[in-house]
Amino acid sequence: MTKPKSANGKTGLLLRLWNGNYCFRVYNRDNTFIDYDLLHSDLCVTIKDPDAFFYKDANGNSLDHSPTTLGIK
């Protein structure tokens, strides 16, 4: 194991993978990236994405793309 380094202030993407798991992807300046498994139990997240919208319907609450992106009128 390498020496741990703080992730505080790091920007990345929360991704849902093809197998249903999630990871936190951090891009390097050369466009390579590192995917980190999510083991943290109560990570504080701030959404900075104008295409992110909250929805509430009979199925419950969800976070998805904007109505425009999803083709919802």
Residue-level pLDDT, tens digit, the chain, 73 residues: 899 999 999 999 999 999 999 999 999 999 999 999 999 999 999 999 999 999 999 999 999 999 999 999 7
pLDDT of amino acid 40 = 94
Alpha helices by DSSP H, listed for 1-73, are: 67-70
CB 27 within 8 A of CB 58: no
Q: Where are the domains of the chain?
A: 13-38+49-70
**Rounded Cα distance, 7 and 34, in Å:** 13
pLDDT of amino acid 73 = 79
User: In 1-73, at which residue ranges do the beta strands (DSSP E only) sit?
Assistant: 13-16, 22-27, 33-37, 52-57, 60-65
pLDDT of amino acid 1 = 83
pLDDT of amino acid 18 = 94
CB 32 within 8 A of CB 25: no
pLDDT of amino acid 24 = 96
